[in-house]
Amino acid sequence: MNERTDGRTDRRTQTQTNERTQHKQTHCFCVVSLQTLILLQQFDVTVDRSVTGYIHLLAGTIYTVDPIVYILVRKASWKRCREILCLNCSHEDAT
């Protein structure tokens, strides 16, 4: 690999890591808020309906979007794996 390819790979890896971190933070925020609401409701703590609605909206969004994001990330990962394998195969065939 030359330096240019390594630089692109490093940037791609860093971007993927940042995207995964942001996704995990968003997922954690939405799920923790929902779990907190459920816990409060178990102890008969009254929570304002607008807050409850907002928490349900967040949780519903993350549970809807999460599988879509997972599929897209997985597709991108498989595509990169195929590229790597095909590059290796073409180098072996050339030699």
pLDDT at 6: 53
Instruction: State the pTM of this model.
Output: 0.54
Residue 88's pLDDT is what?
62
Task: List the chain pLDDT tens, one digit each, 95 residues.
Answer: 444 455 566 777 777 777 777 767 777 787 888 889 999 989 999 999 999 999 999 888 888 887 777 777 777 777 777 777 777 665 555 55
Angle at CA of residue 23, ends 4 and 67, nearest 5° = 105
Q: What is the pLDDT of residue 50?
A: 93
Measure the CA–CA gap between 31 and 29, rounded to whole angstroms. Answer: 6
Give the separation between CA 22 and CA 28, rounded to whole angstroms: 10
